[in-house]
Amino acid sequence: MSGSTFGNRFTVTTWGESHGKALGAVVDGCPAGLPLCEEDIQRLLDRRKPGRSRFATARKEGDEIEILSGVFEGRTTGTPISMMIRNTDQRSGDYGNIAYSYRPGHADYTFDQKYGFRDYRGGGRSSARETAARVAAGAIAEKILETLGIRFCAYTRSIGPVSMETFCPEEILRNSFYMPDKEAAERAGAYLENCMKHQDSAGGVIECRITGVPAGLGEPVFRKLDALLAQAVMSVGAVKAVEIGDGAAVAGMKGSEDNDGFSSENGKITKTSNHAGGIMGGISDGSEILVRASVKPTPSISRPQNTVTSSGEPISLEIHGRHDPVVVPRAVVVVEAMCALVLTDALFLNMTSRMDGIVEFYKKREGSET
Amino acid sequence: MSGSTFGNRFTVTTWGESHGKALGAVVDGCPAGLPLCEEDIQRLLDRRKPGRSRFATARKEGDEIEILSGVFEGRTTGTPISMMIRNTDQRSGDYGNIAYSYRPGHADYTFDQKYGFRDYRGGGRSSARETAARVAAGAIAEKILETLGIRFCAYTRSIGPVSMETFCPEEILRNSFYMPDKEAAERAGAYLENCMKHQDSAGGVIECRITGVPAGLGEPVFRKLDALLAQAVMSVGAVKAVEIGDGAAVAGMKGSEDNDGFSSENGKITKTSNHAGGIMGGISDGSEILVRASVKPTPSISRPQNTVTSSGEPISLEIHGRHDPVVVPRAVVVVEAMCALVLTDALFLNMTSRMDGIVEFYKKREGSET
Amino acid sequence: MSGSTFGNRFTVTTWGESHGKALGAVVDGCPAGLPLCEEDIQRLLDRRKPGRSRFATARKEGDEIEILSGVFEGRTTGTPISMMIRNTDQRSGDYGNIAYSYRPGHADYTFDQKYGFRDYRGGGRSSARETAARVAAGAIAEKILETLGIRFCAYTRSIGPVSMETFCPEEILRNSFYMPDKEAAERAGAYLENCMKHQDSAGGVIECRITGVPAGLGEPVFRKLDALLAQAVMSVGAVKAVEIGDGAAVAGMKGSEDNDGFSSENGKITKTSNHAGGIMGGISDGSEILVRASVKPTPSISRPQNTVTSSGEPISLEIHGRHDPVVVPRAVVVVEAMCALVLTDALFLNMTSRMDGIVEFYKKREGSET
Amino acid sequence: MSGSTFGNRFTVTTWGESHGKALGAVVDGCPAGLPLCEEDIQRLLDRRKPGRSRFATARKEGDEIEILSGVFEGRTTGTPISMMIRNTDQRSGDYGNIAYSYRPGHADYTFDQKYGFRDYRGGGRSSARETAARVAAGAIAEKILETLGIRFCAYTRSIGPVSMETFCPEEILRNSFYMPDKEAAERAGAYLENCMKHQDSAGGVIECRITGVPAGLGEPVFRKLDALLAQAVMSVGAVKAVEIGDGAAVAGMKGSEDNDGFSSENGKITKTSNHAGGIMGGISDGSEILVRASVKPTPSISRPQNTVTSSGEPISLEIHGRHDPVVVPRAVVVVEAMCALVLTDALFLNMTSRMDGIVEFYKKREGSET
């Protein structure tokens, strides 16, 4: 499978460059009969839109989604859903001065090494703008999962050294950082002001919690649920670490601390703790799934940086233009979307895990035909 | 693709349960003409063998590899290489008392939920023993990579709170923890003694450094090199976090600190730092690749733990038998093997990135036929 | 992998319904550096256009292709190439009367059974119009293959009982049936006139010859070159039989007749006959590849046919509107495009068949970087 | 995906050479809870065994299957099922004289071209012996399908010019050609006697009928049911043509003849004819599926044939040893097995075609847990 397609049964193929004509996604394997309209997708897309605050690029990305196929009379038909976003605000001139230089922290050098040349306009395919297509696909996935009672809660855990201290879910959509802690958000704002004053940028941590996931999702041994979540989230541009549940902290724990025991009430078995983050042996255990992503600081900063041109000549590069001093808030919905893609696929794959489930499924269908 | 197959061009399919007749791997897509014998594979397998020290299970796993196909007159033929390890030491009786209980920290519950029942002998398919098949496949991958000058150095960075302080590569194979710091290894030993005395277990951190990787490996956007490394490493049983380069630390860094600049000498462009861990935009940049995995403490501990049986009755479970108090040292070679599988596949996929490379390849081949 | 994606390294994902907003294809895995413009694709697309003669539907399908991504400054960038054709002539009213009936010979019934309902406008996803997207992708594949001297010659072998008797390649593009025999084309025209007079339709046979294919393409055992050609060609709507080389005739031959021997001249080994159609053991042998497809008569005929509505009521259905009495001529370029997709993929996959080829490839690349 | 793996959800990976240590298959994606033992598989394997008559090679292939994993207490566990057949009768000396020649009609030349050298013992990986592993996997697939009432009937339709004239299913297993026509089988025997007398060989036609298939299987547009059947059957060594339903004959038919109409009885909709062979638009329509394969004559014949050595020197080659004068009867069960693999996979993939089916599936499962 090529690099622009993700998933096995519920697949998404993304395409498009930052400053090309358009970008988009083709979702294949969406079941028929799901109510779907452009607004369903636009809602999620708007969460990664820039321009919500002074800490996001001033570029006006319309990000207006158009559904081109796969939906008929308001419902999905089971055939591929093609979605497109036209690029409207393409001030290419902004980027002309970096066409032949290797920006520190960017993919310019590696794209040149791999492909021999590159579309240098705005990062081309390696631009964060590519993630808009992922979010569009993720919106469909979330709609499927919602039908089954699976819910997502993604937010910014920290920006630079400023970490949330309380968890108030209602607060998430109220501040421009998507932090569940109002005061932390204010401190993060002050921190970013300072970064910008020094022509610098910041990173941070994103968390995604998923509830209502049935036990049993994930395919041992290479397509474990946590392994695919790790691939999905690490494939988001600036992510450099992925953790599940207690994550890196488990390395310092003892077995007696880390082990999640079981108890039962009225015949229903549940875990007594959730250090594992909802996944045991690569399979969902029915408790909340917790995924954490560490995001690096925006590489585009306006202070002079030493680097070279593509022909090897040293230059001092100042990157001007419209750049967020932190990408974390806009990446929150991207991480959520990627997790939704993984879960939808896992949900579908799991339907053939047992012979009895298959037999019942087809007996029922046969019955409904008569 | 099913869950037991990994890779696109260089694929491995593993099979087998801890206490079944045998376990093995089928490697498909190995190029023809690679010198290969069982000793090449045994060497790597021996590094995950138990019994090297008093901190590893006393179980005698022969782990003797047999190549069943794909090699003729000492060289690979380009056809699937099937490898098998017979299970010789299967004292099933050891595990009888946990057949109907859900061990804390294990996959018993989730396997039951997914499949309706499970092979409870020694963890069945979810046993760490499955990783022997990965190591066998990884040994072939490493042999291919070596031919191209790509080298691996994997080791234990920490066990519990004991972290390495010096990095002496020669030391790695000299102590039973595969730590590159002799004194840290001694302190780790003391720490584990204490864990065992309290019927407890420890986790730790594994690192894998890979040198000699050509720039250009990795397929944007979902099959980025770091994304596949994350999937590969997170798919190893007890791993709960995967980091690339500076990893989770980037969240607290500023752009001016994290950005790797470029310089050139004699026309050759190199990076002036390597916070990125050798991967930019999901593509290798020619510098050292650094992967880090956080491993949870062994869940099997002999102190009594509260849990339930499969029918929901509460019990106090004591897990006796042969269990490592820490799996980190034995998992070092597994992480290395998984990284080797990812890199080999990426190396193969990258051969079609440019039109000129393809044309030259076939012109050369045509010439050699005449 | 989902059903709308084809190929492993050079993949195409198609989307779109007959009477939706648009249809298109995303090609992923196209190497960087291939000169490509819309005209390259339009040329092939025009060969499947209706309206070339009185035997093709009068519907004006503009079929104007737009490249949306993956090409920069006239060359492919190695990133996904998204192509779109807007549907301009969508007289949906034409099809209204068959919205709730199961047309004989069509996919109406099976789509309803699979998906619960269907986009009934013009056949929706099962319309032959979907093949336009395949042709667009095939045009890119052919451009790659041309660079390596691989050439396609596809044509109509027969229409109904009228079969070609001479093979004059220049004639193919001169008549509206793409037959390499002028007189046969005239007889086919007369035969079709008669079919139309009786409100009936005809089938036929398409052949595709491919020259310049290097020996060695095809991956044993399930992805043999002939196996993938069979899948590719059988996936074209109306095809009911696929043959390679002598095809079905081999069943009646003796070994001494069917076997292709070898001879050599100036050290170059060639076959003395080509009953195998250029493929031995699933691998190309360097001689001409011959693929043959039998195409069923157009199912849409205007004479009354007995069938049922979706609720099971018997009706007599007359299908009016714009329908070709034979789809064979327009399907010629579709078969050619599908063969081009298979060969491009096989060409790429074959690059890792030998260790020495891989080593040379990377040594050369390393050298070119310095 | 590599060439030795077939299927998406129900996958089989085969390995092994004709004269290597062993050959085998790994089936991944088999649901848990299917009763399975070695006898289930052996029964099908025995149908491709040589030695049933004087027209099959005298070589004693034990073909004794061993299940190595994935079955516990008589039922499948949902984990990979590894199966192995040891090669016991490996008189390698028989083949020594053809180690460096290119046998007409064989894959010797193409394997050398692809891989640089080959395992020349008995055809290595290109030997028909590889198909034993497919049959083993197919036996599991058939067992799954049987549970759902899907039945296979495969047989020899013709050998050389001798075609069946009556269809008596009970007769199939009574004669050594698996022909459903006793008299035709006798004439086929006489024909083969004559072939052998002239040191020659014969081809033939195999048909496979599949009943009980629910409507809705097959994934448009590239993974149509007929497209995958074509790939599956064409991937069997000597097959040169694949047809569905009326197959190649449709090219000469008129729409009014070929179209299958619909009727209904008691609300159940059925087709009034089955020219399509049970597949419309690439999706099963609930009627009998008919697949036909044309098989070439055995290329190994003992009369002298002109060919060359691998260094290009002309030689006259006489192939002695144990070779069937016709492979058709032994290939019958292979075609059946391949069809079973395709149908099982299609059955699994189809379970996510509709939103309501998915919702009901998970609601039911949730209910059963409480």
| pLDDT greater than 70 at residue B188 | yes
Put simply, whether C366 touches B (Cβ < 8 Å) is yes
Q: Where are the domains of chain D?
A: 5-369
Share of chain C above pLDDT 70, in %: 93
A105, two tokens: 């922290």
Question: For C8, which DSSP code?
Answer: S
* DSSP codes of every residue in B219-243: BTTTB-HHHHHHHHHHTSTTEEEEE
SS3 A96: helix
Measured from the Cβ of residue B284, the count of other Cβ atoms closer than 10 Å reads 25
Contact B370 C79 (CB under 8 A): no
Across residues A141-149, what is the average pLDDT? 98
Contact C1 A21 (CB under 8 A): no
Put simply, whether B124 touches D (Cβ < 8 Å) is yes
Q: What is the pLDDT of residues C33-73, one digit of tens each?
A: 999 999 999 999 999 886 555 566 555 557 899 999 999 99
Q: What is the pLDDT of residue B43?
A: 95
Distance CA B85, CA B67 (A): 9
B84, two tokens: 């098998």
| pLDDT greater than 90 at residue A34 | yes
Contact D355 A268 (CB under 8 A): no
| pLDDT greater than 70 at residue A319 | yes
Q: What is the pLDDT of residues B70-90, one digit of tens each?
A: 999 999 999 999 999 999 865
Across residues C77-91, what is the average pLDDT? 88
Measured between CA atoms, the residue of chain B closest to residue A130 is B221
Q: How far is CA A349 from CA A353, C40, D9, in A?
A: 8, 40, 8
Distance CA A364, CA A343 (A): 25
Q: How far is CA B299 from CA A70, B104, B239, in A?
A: 47, 7, 12
Q: How far is B5 from chain A (nearest CA, A)?
A: 7
Contact C351 B361 (CB under 8 A): yes
Q: What is the pLDDT of residues B6-40, one digit of tens each?
A: 999 999 999 999 999 999 999 999 999 999 999 99
Contact C3 D240 (CB under 8 A): no
Name chain A contacts of D13, Cβ cutoff 8 Å.
Answer: none
Helix or strand run (H / E) with residue A215: none
Handedness of CA A7, A9, A10, A11 (dihedral sign): positive
Q: What is the pLDDT of residue C266?
A: 87
Name chain D contacts of A343, Cβ cutoff 8 Å.
Answer: none
Measured between CA atoms, the residue of chain B closest to residue A127 is B281
Q: How far apart are the first and last CA of chain A?
A: 40
Contact B264 A312 (CB under 8 A): yes
Quote the mean pLDDT of chain B.
93
Q: What is the pLDDT of residue C51?
A: 54
* DSSP codes of every residue in A148-184: TT-EEEEEEEEETTEE--S--GGGGGGSTT--S-HHH
Distance CA C135, CA C25 (A): 9
Q: How far is A11 from chain D (nearest CA, A)?
A: 13
Helix or strand run (H / E) with residue B195: helix B182-197
Name chain C contacts of B365, Cβ cutoff 8 Å.
Answer: 214, 216, 357
Interface test with B, best of D68, D71, D73, D365 (most B CBs within 10 A): D68
What pLDDT band is residue D370 in, cutting at 50, 70 and 90?
very low
Distance CA D359, CA D283 (A): 23
| pLDDT greater than 90 at residue D98 | no
Q: How far is A360 from chain B (nearest CA, A)?
A: 15
CB pairs under 8 A between B and C: 99
Put simply, whether B77 touches D (Cβ < 8 Å) is yes
Q: How far is D200 from chain C (nearest CA, A)?
A: 6
With contact defined as 3+ CB pairs under 8 Å, the chains touching B are: A, C, D
What pLDDT band is residue A369 in, cutting at 50, 70 and 90?
low
| pLDDT greater than 60 at residue D61 | no
Put simply, whether A197 touches B (Cβ < 8 Å) is no
Residue C74, classified by CB atoms within 10 Å of its CB into exposed (0-12), middle (13-18) or buried (19+), is: exposed
- Measure CB to CB from residue D220 to each of C125, C218, C262 and give the nearest one: C125
C166, two tokens: 């001479």
Handedness of CA D172, D178, D181, D183 (dihedral sign): negative
Name chain A contacts of D352, Cβ cutoff 8 Å.
Answer: 9-10, 29, 31, 348, 351
- Phi first, then psi, for residue D176 (nearest 5°) are -75, -5
Closest CA relative to residue C164, chosen from C210, C209, C131: C209
Q: What is the pLDDT of residues B334-362, one digit of tens each?
A: 999 999 999 999 999 999 999 999 999 99
Across residues C332-346, what is the average pLDDT? 98
Put simply, whether C202 touches D (Cβ < 8 Å) is yes
Distance CA D341, CA D143 (A): 11
Mark which residues 206-225 of C lie under 8 Å from B by CB.
Answer: 214-216, 220
Return the C-alpha torsion angle C45, C47, C53, C56, nearest 10: -60
Q: What is the pLDDT of residue C25?
A: 98
| Residue C118 CB-half CA count within 13 A | 27
B361, two tokens: 């390849």
Across residues B55-82, what is the average pLDDT? 86
Measured from the Cβ of residue A147, the count of other Cβ atoms closer than 10 Å reads 16
Across residues C354-359, what is the average pLDDT? 97
- Measure CB to CB from residue B256 to each of A161, A200, A228 and give the nearest one: A200
Put simply, whether A25 touches C (Cβ < 8 Å) is no
SS3 B354: strand
Contact D258 C105 (CB under 8 A): yes
Amino acid, single-letter form, for residue B117: F
Helix axes A328-349, A225-234, angle to 10 degrees: 150
Q: What is the pLDDT of residue A89?
A: 62
Q: What is the pLDDT of residue A119?
A: 92
Count, residues in chain D:
370
What pLDDT band is residue D52 in, cutting at 50, 70 and 90?
low
Closest CA relative to residue D335, chosen from D238, D252, D262: D238
Quote the mean pLDDT of chain C.
93
Which residues 6+ apart lie within 8 Å of A92 measured at CB?
A19, A121, A122
| pLDDT greater than 80 at residue D267 | yes
Contact A203 B253 (CB under 8 A): yes
What pLDDT band is residue D53 in, cutting at 50, 70 and 90?
low
Q: What is the pLDDT of residue D59?
A: 52
Name chain B contacts of A220, Cβ cutoff 8 Å.
Answer: 3-4, 125-126
DSSP H helices, D170-268, are 182-197, 225-234, 255-258
Put simply, whether B117 touches A (Cβ < 8 Å) is no
Contact B359 C267 (CB under 8 A): no
Q: What is the pLDDT of residue C370?
A: 42
Q: What is the pLDDT of residue A99?
A: 85
Q: How far is D32 from chain A (nearest CA, A)?
A: 5
Q: What is the pLDDT of residue B95?
A: 60
Contact D241 C237 (CB under 8 A): no
Put simply, whether A304 touches D (Cβ < 8 Å) is no
Amino acid, single-letter form, for residue D85: I
What pLDDT band is residue A370 in, cutting at 50, 70 and 90?
very low
Taking the model in full, what pTM does it have? 0.97
How much is the CA Rg of chain D, to the nearest whole Å? 22
| pLDDT greater than 50 at residue B370 | no
What pLDDT band is residue D366 in, cutting at 50, 70 and 90?
confident
Put simply, whether C110 touches D (Cβ < 8 Å) is yes
Name chain B contacts of C144, Cβ cutoff 8 Å.
Answer: 355, 358
Q: What is the pLDDT of residue C39?
A: 97
Contact C75 A117 (CB under 8 A): yes
CA angle A311, A316, A318 (to 5 degrees): 115
Contact D214 A268 (CB under 8 A): no
The CATH code of the domain at C5-369 is 3.60.150.10
Quote the mean pLDDT of chain A.
93
Contact B370 C144 (CB under 8 A): no
Q: What is the pLDDT of residues D191-248, one digit of tens each?
A: 999 999 999 999 999 999 999 999 999 999 999 999 999 999 999 999 999 999 999 9
- Across B153-157, D34-38, D362-366, least confident range: D362-366
Q: How far is B239 from chain D (nearest CA, A)?
A: 21
Across residues A47-63, what is the average pLDDT? 65
CA angle B244, B250, B256 (to 5 degrees): 120
Measured between CA atoms, the residue of chain C closest to residue B266 is C370
Enumerate the β-bridge partners of residue A241.
A294, B243
